[in-house]
Amino acid sequence: MAKKLRIDKILSNLGYGSRAELKVYCKKGMVKVNDKVISNPGTQVDTDVDKIEFNNEVVNYREFVYIMMNKPDGYLSATFDKRDPIVLDLIDSSYLAFEPFPVGRLDKDTEGLLVLTNDGQLAHRVLSPKKHVPKTYYAKIEGRVTEEDIKAFEAGVTLDDGY
């Protein structure tokens, strides 16, 4: 589906600079659409058809990003933390302009599939209890699981952070 957007909005959303900086870049002739220099940062561009270049490099526009990762032990499923490493530290920095976030969470000492995206609707469809998206967890434990443990988990377990 064709989508027309301002060239400065496209480039700023992709991390090429602020809208003010892109105005300057346009005036310097650093932005091209279909091999034509664009001096007006408000120029509308069809993201499905037009070829966009910044500083002679082709720009691949996309509204959403979807990243699947095998989250290793020791990383937080978070977008910011002052003490511990986060899953965003593991992805290529070119994705950071899209502001991806984890869809769901895995504990710091847990490893497994984690999806990162900037698509809020997808995240809602996956995480909303009303959508009934099944999730499967596999755990290795030390010791024995008692009948009392099973009942406690069936009733629900409150974590240290209140969840």
What amino acid positions are annotated as catalytic residues?
A: 107
In whole angstroms, how far apart are CA 39 and each of 22, 28, 48, 160?
10, 8, 21, 55
**Distance between CA atoms of residues 151 and 155, nearest Å:** 6
Contact 99, 118 (CB under 8 A): yes
3-state secondary structure of 56: coil
